[in-house]
Each structure stands twice: as C-alpha cells, then as structure tokens.
C-alpha cells in the first residue's frame, strides 16, 4: 500500500518494449512504475502477462544509456560490503525515442528526490541519493578541486586579488536595496567573504554553502564577526545536494574560472538558480562575456617551439630522443598560455560571446560553440587567439562591470592565449574567420578546439575561398602559467639573441624581416 512520501511527484507508469535481466537471456514486455511506498521512492517493474514484479530503491539506483532506445538500470546491493557492488541489473528497451527520453527525465526527477527510508533533511543535511555533481565529475578531479579550495593559502590568494574583492564589495554596497532585508545564498562560499558583504549590506539571512573543508574556516571567521554571525548560516555540502529551509531573493557567487568557464562552477551556479532562487530574484554576477581577438607574438611562438627542442637530442647519454620530438611539440602547443600580455599584440578589434546566467541552462555549458570573424588591422603573422572575460553585476541601483581584459588592472585570472601550431599570414583589412569550440569533460574543464582561417584579400576576393587555415586542440585543464605581469615589448619585436637554438627556414627569416619593416613603417 502506498503511503505519503517526502517528495511531491505523482506516480508515473511506462510501458516498456521489453525488460531483460542481466543474469538471464529471456525478455518480456513490462510496465515500469515510479512510485513512493512506505516513504521509499522506488521503480517497480511488473510483467504484463504475470503477477511477478520487483522494485529498485531509487536512492541507490543508477541508469546508463546504451543507445537511443536501450538503457541499463542497476541497483546497489544493500548486503554487500564490496565497493561498487550491485544486487540486480536490467536492460530496458523502449518503443520509441520519446518514451526513452521521458523515462530518463522521470528517473532523474525521482532519484533527485529519493531519500533513504526514515531519514530527514534538516537545513544543510545532504541527501543519500546519487549526486548530479558526482555523476558528471570524476572523483579524482573533485577530490583535488575541493582539497585545493580547502586551503587558506589559496583563499588568501583570491582575497588579495583586490580588483576581484573590491569589485564584489562595491557591487554589493552600491546595491544595498537588493540585499537589505533579503534572503541570500552564497554559492561556493569559500572563506565566507561574500556572505559577510551581503550581511553588511543588510541581508535578512545568508546561507553560505561550501563543499570543501573551507566551510569549517568560514564558520570560524564568521563567528569572529559576531555582528554578522547571527545572520549567516554556513552549510557544508554541494549545492546539488543540500536542502535549504527557504527560497533566496539573491544569489551571490564567484563562479568564474580561466576563460570564464574553467572548473565548471558556472553549472553549479545555474543549478543553485533553478533550485533556490525565487522568481524575479537577483544574481550577482548576472551576465558573463568571453572576449576574443587574434594576436601576433613572435617571442611567445618561438618560446613554445623551443620547449620541445630538448627532444631533438640524438645522443642523450647514448639515447636517441628524437622519436618523441613530434609528441612533445604537440604537447606544448596543447597548453593554453595563461599570462598578462600587452594589448598592442592584438591584431584586430575583439568580439565577445555572451553567457546570461539568468537564462543559461546547465546542459548548454556542456558544449559552447563560437563562430569567429575579425578584420585584421595590421600586416603580420597571426599566432593564435587571445581570450579574456568580464561579468556584469546588474544591480537595481548601479550596474558594475568586472573585467580581466589586457591593459586593465591584472587579476589572478590574467588572460589566456591559444597558440596555433602554424601561424597564418594576414594583410591589413583582411578577414579572419574561424571557430572556437569548447567541449566540457569530467575533469571539471574543457577541451578547446580552435580553427582560424585567412580569406583571400584584394581584387577578386569575392570569388576566392579560404587562402590558408590553421588549427589547434588544447586542454584548458593543463595551462602553461607563463608569467605574472605583462612583458614589455619593443615597438618592433626583434628575434632572440641566440636564434641558432631554433631551426628556421630561410623563407621564415625573410618573413620576419618583412614583418619588422612593415611594423616600423607604421610608426
């Protein structure tokens, strides 16, 4: 007999094409029902032509997709002490893709609300159901991530980024009307500094949610500020898992990573929006923009190429290293370069891609595709694409932007540059097109696929196609941290003092000389 359950979902049935037990070769049509029995949410399978049935406890069930019409559902063994042990598994087949999708959506809804029998979820308690975060992020990456942000030295590094911390403080204090008397949720609270800013602005109550060990330090820091402590509750847990006693009027967070999206914290930010933010609630920050522009930097390109020259040793203690030269060269160019660079290295006006945190769906962060189109302002060799970001705090009183642009005060994000394996030559006025394609992966970062092309320029260009193209594939998780401050470049870049370290073809030397002559002519 069904009993009242903690979740408010209505019982739902699906008629399956067939159901096959993993331990059996036989299959038969089955009706699958999501329901709540004795305060336990379950998925019940009932054979159409018999009274036989069995159930999976949704608090321990997992679903895997084999194809458009085929899934595998497994249930954890409650009696086994072995890790990753399952008591039963079934292969589910559907009649069409719509039924398959509806079943997956229902499974996600019911497992999210599934609670172990007899347990409750007071403020800050984490459910035992399978975490959405854990399902998409590999355990080793999550462990390292939370360990990193659980250390005070890294929190200090962020707090001492005065551009970052000062902008957040100003955005909150300039918009006191958005915080005064309001309920605020701090998403990924860290040290709790943003929670205390919200309390200083008059927030009615602040829920500071932090999954790392930093939550314990945040409690200690907040307790040491008694005038604020009574209005701040620190909750240790993931946003995807915790329960809060009330909806929020305001979300505040610092979810930005390198290239804005690195670490995939923005997904957690929009999950918090969907779970906890009241209709018409405020988000600080509100909108993010990824800015992009092609750049020319002969020094950087030669530096990257020189890194792999070690592997050209043909007699390194009697060993020929050259078989690995190609792989090493590819490896160095697969690292995005993180540094603060001189904006004069940009060879075209920048463009930007907008990410609206109030509207963006979590799934839209899994793959981000940006068409590129620029017009070169100088004659040069383009060595890659430079990127930076800014975010908007859209307050009711003041709209404040925070930027990481080259030439602006440097932040701990710096800027990022994707270096092409092969530069492309452009003339002033020539069109540069391409594509920046970001694909999320389970190590809390992105694979970057960059393609740049120079279209034919001059008389007859409207009849011509692509003149030259170059591409690269990079892992945003493994950047090359090059320097902490912008390097001072001369007006015309000169070749390194010892060019013999790099094998350059005579044609390339002529191109470098031509580049220098063109640059000098402009000044």
**Catalytic annotation, residues:** 254, 263
DSSP letters, 485-513, are: S-----SSPPPPS-GGGS---HHHHHHHH
Query: Prior bond to 285 cis, omega within 30?
Result: yes
Of 48, 75, 73, give the one whose Cα is nearest residue 59.
Answer: 75
Angle formed by the axes of helices 214-223 and 193-200, nearest 10°: 30
Alpha carbon distances (Å) from 158 to 163, 256, 350, 453: 10, 12, 27, 38
CA distance 217 to 5: 37
| Tokens found for residue 461 | 């260009």
Count CA atoms closer than 13 A to 478's CA, side-chain side.
10
* CA dist., res. 321 & res. 309, Å (int): 10
Buried b (16+ CB within 10 A) or exposed e, 272-285: bbebbbeeebbbbb
What CA–CA distance (Å, rounded) separates 426 from 348?
A: 11
Start-end of H helices in 114-240: 132-136, 139-149, 152-159, 162-173, 176-179, 193-200, 214-223, 226-229
**Spatial separation of the C-alpha atoms in residues 235 and 135, rounded to whole Å:** 22
Tell me the DSSP string of 456-492.
Answer: --STTGGG--EEEEEEEEEETTS-EE--SS-----SS
């Amino acid at each position: 007999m069904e009993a009242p359950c903690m979740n408010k979902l209505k019982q739902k049935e699906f008629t399956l094409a067939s159901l096959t037990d993993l331990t059996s070769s036989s299959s038969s049509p089955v009706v699958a029902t999501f329901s709540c029995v004795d305060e336990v949410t379950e998925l019940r399978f009932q054979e159409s032509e018999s009274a036989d049935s069995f159930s999976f406890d949704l608090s321990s069930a997992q679903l895997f997709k084999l194809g458009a019409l085929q899934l595998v559902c497994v249930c954890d063994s409650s009696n086994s002490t072995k890790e990753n042990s399952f008591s039963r598994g079934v292969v589910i087949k559907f009649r069409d893709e719509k039924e398959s999708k509806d079943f997956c959506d229902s499974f996600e809804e019911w497992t999210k609300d599934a609670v172990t029998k007899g347990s409750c979820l007071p403020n800050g308690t984490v459910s035992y159901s399978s975490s959405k975060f854990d399902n998409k992020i590999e355990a080793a990456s999550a462990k390292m991530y939370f360990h990193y942000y659980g250390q005070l030295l890294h929190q200090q590094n962020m707090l001492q980024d005065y551009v970052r911390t000062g902008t957040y403080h100003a955005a909150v204090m300039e918009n006191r009307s958005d915080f005064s008397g309001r309920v605020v949720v701090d998403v990924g609270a860290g040290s709790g500094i943003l929670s205390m800013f919200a309390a200083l602005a008059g927030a009615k109550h602040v829920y500071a949610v932090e999954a790392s060990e930093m939550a314990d330090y945040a409690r200690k820091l907040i307790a040491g500020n008694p005038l604020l402590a009574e209005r701040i509750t620190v909750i240790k847990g993931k946003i995807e898992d915790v329960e809060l006693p009330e909806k929020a009027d305001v979300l505040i967070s610092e979810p930005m990573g390198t290239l804005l999206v690195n670490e995939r914290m923005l997904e957690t930010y929009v999950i918090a929006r969907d779970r906890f933010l009241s209709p018409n609630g405020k988000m600080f920050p509100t909108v993010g923009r990824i800015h992009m522009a092609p750049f020319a930097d002969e020094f950087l390109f030669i530096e990257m190429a020189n890194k792999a020259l070690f592997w050209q040793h043909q007699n390194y203690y009697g060993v020929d290293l050259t078989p690995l030269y190609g792989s090493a060269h590819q490896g160095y160019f697969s690292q995005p370069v993180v540094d603060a660079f001189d904006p004069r290295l940009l060879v075209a006006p920048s463009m930007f891609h907008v990410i609206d945190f109030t509207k963006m769906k979590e799934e839209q962060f899994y793959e981000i595709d940006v068409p590129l189109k620029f017009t070169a302002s100088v004659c040069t060799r383009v060595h890659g694409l430079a990127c930076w970001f800014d975010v908007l705090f859209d307050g009711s009183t003041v709209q404040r932007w925070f930027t990481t642009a080259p030439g602006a005060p440097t932040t701990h994000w710096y800027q990022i540059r994707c270096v092409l394996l092969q530069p492309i030559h452009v003339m002033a006025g020539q069109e540069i097109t391409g594509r920046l394609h970001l694909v999320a992966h389970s190590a809390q970062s992105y694979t970057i696929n960059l393609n740049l092309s120079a279209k034919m320029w001059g008389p007859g260009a409207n009849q011509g196609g692509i003149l030259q193209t170059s591409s690269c594939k990079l892992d945003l998780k493994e950047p090359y941290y090059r320097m902490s401050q912008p390097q001072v470049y001369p007006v015309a870049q000169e070749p390194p003092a010892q060019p013999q370290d790099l094998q350059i073809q005579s044609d390339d030397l002529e191109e470098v000389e031509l580049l220098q002559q063109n640059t000098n002519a402009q000044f």
